[in-house]
């Protein structure tokens, strides 16, 4: 008998990130972290660099984490978790070691330490919670910020409006290092989310989970639309769901048709200023990406059928 994959309904419900932390209402990041840790369970050590997660979850003498937690700096997630893993394995402990860093701590300042851990194939799980800017310090642009977006360092000026370069393809950077597993996740696709965390948990070596986490304060959005944004990001091609294992890329959710990016942009204050020309530029970039992702032989395997209906919002997201 084939073992049934874990779903949002069968996943462990015990919180490792307790309630009472200080995340904003509608924070995508806290939802993502809570659910990753539910699946990893109590035998887990967490490292977080300087980030929203650090600030909203832990300030001496209280901490929302029910598992051991350590912080030290911003740019060293890959290195600290490697050290923790080495120390634990030396003692014969198989405790899960997870580093949870934001996009700034991963795409920019933490890239070198991340690359070191990936190249050594250290036995760690690296989770990037990507809200597309330095939200903890007040929404400065990062290597993850999309084209056109307002941030406090890509302001809407009279000469230049918003970010002028495109979002870095972080998965491509990580996957180029022969890692054990790399996957993208969305909080609007909970079963896909659960399956990927469960899969990463069962593996050894360097594993990378990249989760898009909408940010109500930095994106200038209504906290009520966090899931809609996460879902629309996938339907418009601003985010894609796939995994890379043994160098093989598998799309795990394929949207039926590509929705215009404007559907996604218009819900967010950070894109409100965008000119038609800039929206067209972004759309063209997305179309090219979409074709590469879904219509070329880069996709080496077809996604399993039957997951799609589980992937939507609504009843299935309860408990997340």
Partner 1 sequence: MKVKVLSGDHAVAYAVKMCNVDVIPNYPITPQTLIIEKLSDFVFDGECDATFMPADSEHSAMSMAIGAAATGVRTFTATASQGLALMHEMLYVAPQTRLPIVMANVNRSLGAGSGIWAEYNDSMPERESGWMQCYVEDAQEAFDTIVQAYRLCEDQRVMLPLMMCLDAFVLSHTVEKVLLPEQAEVDAFLPRFRPLNFLDTQNPKFINIAVTPAHSMEMRYQLDHLMRETSSVVDEVDALFGKHFGRSYGGSIQPYRMEDAEHALITLGTATSTARVAVDELRKEGKKVGLIKLKYIRPFPHEQLRKALRGVSSLGVFDRSIAVNGFGPVFTEVRNSCYGMGMPITNHIAGIGGRDLTVATFKGMFEKIMRKEGAGRDCFWHGLRGDM
Burial of 64 from C-beta contacts in 10 A (0-12 / 13-18 / 19+): buried
Q: Max alpha carbon distance in the chain (Å)?
A: 64
Residue 91 C-beta: closest distance to partner 1, Å: 7
The SS3 of residue 242 is strand
199 binds partner 1 (CB under 8 A): no
Residue 117 C-beta: closest distance to partner 1, Å: 8
Are the C-beta atoms of residues 64 and 57 closer than 8 Å to each other?
Answer: yes
Q: Where are the alpha helices (DSSP H) in the chain?
A: 28-40, 52-57, 77-90, 111-120, 170-175, 190-202, 226-236, 262-265, 276-294
For partner 1, which residue of 5, 15, 24, 68 counts as binding (CB under 8 A)?
68
x-or-dash pattern for partner 1, window 234-273, by CB under 8 A?
----------------------------------------
The residue (of 57 and 252) whose beta carbon lies closer to partner 1 is 57
> How crowded is residue 218: how many other Cβ atoms within 10 Å of its Cβ?
26
DSSP code string of 146-213: PTT--BTTB-B-SS-BS--SPPP-HHHHHHTT--SEEEEEETT-HHHHHHHHHHHHH--S-EEEEEE-
The residue (of 60 and 158) whose beta carbon lies closer to partner 1 is 60
Residue 78 C-beta: closest distance to partner 1, Å: 7
Residue 21 C-beta: closest distance to partner 1, Å: 12
For partner 1, which residue of 75, 192, 235, 316 counts as binding (CB under 8 A)?
75
Residue 56 C-beta: closest distance to partner 1, Å: 10
> How crowded is residue 121: how many other Cβ atoms within 10 Å of its Cβ?
15
DSSP state of 311: S
Applying CB under 8 A, the span of 26-34, 70-78, 214-222, 269-277 interacting with partner 1 comes to: 70-78
Instruction: State the number of binding residues for partner 1 (CB under 8 A).
Output: 45
The encoded tokens of residue 221 equal: 């959005």
Site for partner 1 in 110-139 (CB under 8 A): 112-113, 115-116, 119-120
Applying CB under 8 A, the span of 87-95, 162-170, 187-195, 283-291 interacting with partner 1 comes to: 87-95
For partner 1, which residue of 20, 61, 92, 157 counts as binding (CB under 8 A)?
61
The residue (of 87 and 304) whose beta carbon lies closer to partner 1 is 87
Applying CB under 8 A, the span of 30-38, 77-85, 185-193, 218-226 interacting with partner 1 comes to: 77-85
Asked, as a colleague might, if the bond just before 61 is cis with ω within 30 of 0, I would say yes
| Contacts of residue 182, Cβ cutoff 8 Å, sequence gap at least 6 | 171, 174, 175, 207, 208, 209, 210, 243, 244
x-or-dash pattern for partner 1, window 23-42, by CB under 8 A?
-------------------x
Residue 81 C-beta: closest distance to partner 1, Å: 6
The SS3 of residue 62 is strand
> How crowded is residue 260: how many other Cβ atoms within 10 Å of its Cβ?
14
For partner 1, which residue of 17, 29, 58, 185 counts as binding (CB under 8 A)?
58
> Rule CB under 8 A: which residues touch partner 1?
42-45, 47, 54-55, 58-61, 63, 65-73, 75-76, 78-91, 93, 95, 112-113, 115-116, 119-120
């Amino acid at each position: 008998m084939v073992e049934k994959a874990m779903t949002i309904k069968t996943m462990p419900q015990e919180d490792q990130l307790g309630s009472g932390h200080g995340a904003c209402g509608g924070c995508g990041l806290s939802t993502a972290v809570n659910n990753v840790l539910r699946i990893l369970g109590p035998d887990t050590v967490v490292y977080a660099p300087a980030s929203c997660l650090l600030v909203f979850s832990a300030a001496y003498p209280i901490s929302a984490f029910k598992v051991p937690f350590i912080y030290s700096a911003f740019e060293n997630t890959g290195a600290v978790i490697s050290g923790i893993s080495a120390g634990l394995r030396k003692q014969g402990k198989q405790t899960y070691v997870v580093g949870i860093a934001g996009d700034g701590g991963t795409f920019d300042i933490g890239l070198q330490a991340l690359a070191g851990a990936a190249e050594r194939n250290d036995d760690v799980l690296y989770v990037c919670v990507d809200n597309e800017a330095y939200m903890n310090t007040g929404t400065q642009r990062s290597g993850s910020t999309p084209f056109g977006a307002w941030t406090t360092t890509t302001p809407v000026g009279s000469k230049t409006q918003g970010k002028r370069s495109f979002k870095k393809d972080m998965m491509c950077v990580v996957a180029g290092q022969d890692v054990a597993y790399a996957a993208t996740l969305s909080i609007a696709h909970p079963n896909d989310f659960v399956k990927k965390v469960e899969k990463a948990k069962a593996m050894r070596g360097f594993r990378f989970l990249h989760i898009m986490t909408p940010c109500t304060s930095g994106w200038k959005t209504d906290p009520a639309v966090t899931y809609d944004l996460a879902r629309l990001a996938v339907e418009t091609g601003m985010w894609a769901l796939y995994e890379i294992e043994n160098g093989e890329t598998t799309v795990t959710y394929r949207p039926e048709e590509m929705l215009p990016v404007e559907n996604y942009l218009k819900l967010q204050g950070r894109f409100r200023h965008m000119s038609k020309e800039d929206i067209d530029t972004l759309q063209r970039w997305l179309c090219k990406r979409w074709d590469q992702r879904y219509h070329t032989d880069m996709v080496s395997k077809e996604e399993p059928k039957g997951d799609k209906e589980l992937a939507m919002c609504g009843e299935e997201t309860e408990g997340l």
